[in-house]
Structure 1
Amino acid sequence: MNARRDSILREMGLGPIWRLRGAPGDEADAFDPANEQAPPDTSVEEAPAVVAPVVDAQVRPREQPLRAESPAPAPQPARERSPAVNADAVGGMGWDELTQEILACKACRLCEQRRQAVPGVGDRQADWLFVGEGPGAEEDARGEPFVGKAGQLLDAMMSAIGIKRGDNVYIANTVKCRPPANRTPEVEELAACFPYLARQIALIRPRLIVALGRPAAQSLLNTDIRIASARGKCFDYDGIPVVVTYHPAYLLRNPMDKAKAWEDLCFARREMARLAGGEN
């Protein structure tokens, strides 16, 4: 067991530490989730089944996070909506143009109450892509995905399998604006925003995508998904393997499922090792 990883997880109140079952030299039980207190969470939870309409899988984006020290912009008054996102136009954009397009987007009603859009963050040539549902309050204020309690848990989860935010990892959401009261994005909102996510994936070309929660999985796979039945399987998005697991916000409210999420991450790590020829 990596002492540094243990220290990181203990500092975040996530001990006993998750441990990999069945790995030579590193065998142990998954950490006991009973000791984890679920703090209030501002992220969007796992949602009822929603299926986004099929969108050209050749479109995809990336972001430039705002500096944390910059003052958060004030909430904007209701914005007049613009026409739907042009998937063909988005499909030809590079990172800078795409980021500006996301920040200025008014294609659905989520733009009306946001402080700012949240494009994504991380390594733009990453092997790992984690896709969540949508920004929460802290993400809306800071312009970066997964920076609240759920983000801290996600960082700990990644650290436990030897990866970290920004280092061969990119993090994005299915919708780029915070849904009011952190509700689940509606079908039209998921469909409106999907060309941006698709363009991000096309630009990154990750080796593996980890879908965090049902809305992310359903948007990527364009089908109804239940996490319990999807776990332990590899799906496909435009030739890229997709592993499905629980959203960190859900795990904060349901800590007994953290052991299952750990198993999913171990499965993802094994799949990445296979894709990388045993290098991971």
Structure 2
Amino acid sequence: MYNYEELKHFVEHCSRCPLSAARNKSVMGRGNLHSSIMFIAEAPGYQEDRDGIPFTGASGKVFDELLASIGMSRDEIYLTNVVKCHPPRNRDPEPDEQEACIPYLKYETLLIRPRIIVCLGRIAAQRIIRSDFRITREHGQFLYRKNTWLTAVYQPSAILRDDTKMAETKEDFKVLFIRSREING
């Protein structure tokens, strides 16, 4: 079993798919390595590719606002992506690109051992929860699998495109907060 720094090294030097050839920086997950909550988005965006940090820029501000709405900060959670390199033109990551990165995500999950996984958006939910997951109908609903609670919420970039999703997502975060308190006592 690798530790976080070893895994980060593998991600930084990965060439398992064509995305690695065009990246500036791979984006390894960040946050509290002992968190009970892991957030998983689909892939780094343009700004994250420059910074090497998940959810910077406008999407990061929305994510931080959602966390703040339940009295949390990034220091309390772990945040990562299914795919560790930025897909060109912010397109959805292809299935083979996702498949190339899944071993990294599995190791991250083993290292963090979250009790709750929150998928940020459709792509992450379809990869982690169920391939036919419908974010518009199923966001905020929890299911229990392999000692972990799973849920999905709208991705911050979707909220930037349609700010009417913010109220629903804040409600989903309130439910997440309640669930996390029930689990963690």
Q: Same fold (TM over 0.5)?
A: yes
Q: Give the counterpart of 1:201 among 109, 115, 125.
A: 109
Give the Cα separation in 2 of the matches to 1:232 and 1:137. 27
Match of residue 153 from structure 1: 62
* Residues 237 and 177 of structure 1, relative CA distance in 2, 3 Å threshold: farther
Match of residue 57 from structure 1: none
Match of residue 53 from structure 1: none
* Residues 243 and 222 of structure 1, relative CA distance in 2, 3 Å threshold: closer
Give the Cα separation in 2 of the matches to 1:243 and 1:222. 11
Query: Are 1:161 and 1:269, in contact at CA under 8 Å, matched by a contact in 2?
Result: yes
Give the CA deviation at 1:274: 1.2
Give the Cα separation in 2 of the matches to 1:233 and 1:143. 31
Q: Give the counterpart of 1:235 among 136, 143, 163.
A: 143
Give the CA deviation at 1:119: 0.5
Unaligned runs of 5+ in 2: none
Match of residue 138 from structure 1: 47
| Residue 23 of structure 2 corresponds to residue 117 of structure 1 | no
Structural mapping, 1:16-35, within 5 Å: none
Give the Cα separation in 1 of the matches to 2:15 and 2:42. 18
TM-score normalised by L of structure 2: 0.96
Going by fraction, where is helix more abundant, 1 or 2? 2
Deviations 1:28-79 (A, max 9, x none): xxxxxxxxxxxxxxxxxxxxxxxxxxxxxxxxxxxxxxxxxxxxxxxxxxxx
Give the CA deviation at 1:237: 4.7
Aligned length: 185
Give the Cα separation in 1 of the matches to 2:152 and 2:109. 16
Unaligned runs of 5+ in 1: 1-91
Amino acid across the alignment from 1:178 = H
Indicate the structure (1 or 2) with the bigger Cα radius of gyration.
1
Identity of aligned residues (%): 36
Deviations 1:234-274 (A, max 9, x none): 12453210121100000000111111111111111111111
Runs of 4+ in structure 1 over 4 Å off: none
Give the Cα separation in 2 of the matches to 1:111 and 1:164. 30
* Residues 108 and 144 of structure 1, relative CA distance in 2, 3 Å threshold: same
Q: Give the counterpart of 1:128 among 37, 51, 57.
A: 37
